[in-house]
Amino acid sequence: MKIKLAAVYQCPQCKLQSLDVFQEPIGFIEKSKDGESEDIINGQLICKGCEVKFPIINGIPRFVGQDNYAESFGYQWNLHSKTQLDSVTGFTITRKRLFSVTGWPENMQGQMILEAGSGAGRFTEILLSTSAHVFSFDFSSAVDANRTNNGNHQNLNLFQGDIFHIPLPEKSFDKVMCLGVIQHTPDPENAIKSLAKHVRPGGELVIDVYTKSFISLLQWKYVLRPLTKRINKQTLYRIIATTVPFLLWPTILLRRFMGRIGARLMPIVEYSSLGIPYELNKQWAILDTFDMYSPAHDHPQSIASIKRWFNEIDFENITVGYGPNGVIAKGSRPLQ
């Protein structure tokens, strides 16, 4: 973490923008390449107001505890830190999804972007390619995978934080984005409203969330999750990693002959429809099948609910509709 960012963060408890850096031990300081700023590798942020201390570990300020409801995501993203990165796969799946969902330009030089729920940083690397200044966070230890993948980029400011208590000033970002995460929080409505507070006048919020409908609820995960979410994550991962290779080809064939409905007859997910090679499809299938069964929370939402929540935050230019990962919602804070 760059020392100068201590003045940017605010205490998530007392809301004061008055954090000091305590370097401990002093030897864990790294000079940046330009030699002008210093990076804290290990240390503490201490609030001058309430004196709460927040550790800096592996260069990342941590505003939440290491054990929390999202730790299954930390586990999966540190195992599959590069599985979905466009820069590794050679495909543009993530890039296409980000720009098709947000409608943002591919050049956002000088703009301030807040990304909630970064995972291993598949969207982070695309956002950084736009020359924007990106503040990215995750509730889980997935931030460590993101640091490994994107931490050398000068425009990235990475922290571990809570979507309900974001340690940054309100109304300070041109764009706020949260893709693939809202449904995995304990309170999707207040997660969206918390993100909205950080959009500056004229700025935009974009989220997506799993769809709540009769058809969407007819999935194996809603039958099996009451059991699987209680299984130790390492054990569950071993079960899925062993099972997926046996079920992958039958699932591909069902999708080929019966479409999406056919694929849903099997208790795994797969991505042959994206045109990716079999081995990459297998890794995505293991990753996202674990993602499907392991989370503590899975709360899909209807279009009507999302529209109501965006209207309640008094945003304008609101659009809500279906997208590749469920319901997409966009809105902007009025200039006045």
d(CA 104, CA 114): 14
* Structure token pair of residue 186: 């304990």
- Rounded to two decimals, the pTM is 0.93
Region class of 180: left (phi > 0), else alpha (psi between -120 and 50), else beta: left
Identity at 334, one-letter amino acid code? P
Q: What are phi and psi of 186, to 5 degrees?
A: -70, -15
**Which of 50, 125, 119 lies closest to 93 in space, CA to CA?**
125
**34-to-7, 39, 147, 197, 330 alpha-carbon distances in Å:** 21, 12, 19, 34, 38
User: What confidence score (pLDDT) does residue 7 get?
Assistant: 83
List of the chain residues with pLDDT < 70: 22-37
| Predicted pLDDT at 80 | 97
- pLDDT for 134 equals 98
The helix (H) or strand (E) run that includes residue 138 is: strand 133-138
Query: Which residues does 326 contact at the CB level (< 8 Å), separation at least 6?
Result: 183, 208, 209, 210, 211, 216, 300
What is the rounded CA–CA span in Å between residue 238 and residue 230?
15
Rg of the Cα atoms in the chain = 20
The stretches of the chain forming alpha helices (DSSP H) are 71-79, 86-89, 93-102, 122-128, 142-150, 188-196, 220-228, 233-263, 278-293, 303-312
Cβ pair 56, 62 in contact under 8 A: yes
- Do 252 and 282 form a contact (C-beta atoms < 8 A)? no
264 with 258: CB under 8 angstroms? no
Tokens 């299984």 correspond to what residue? 231
pLDDT given at position 26: 39
In this structure, are residues 8 and 42 in contact, taking their beta carbons and an 8 Å threshold?
no
Q: pLDDT value at position 271?
A: 96
Q: Tell me the C-alpha distance between 266 and 247, whole Å.
A: 8
Greatest C-alpha distance within the chain? 63
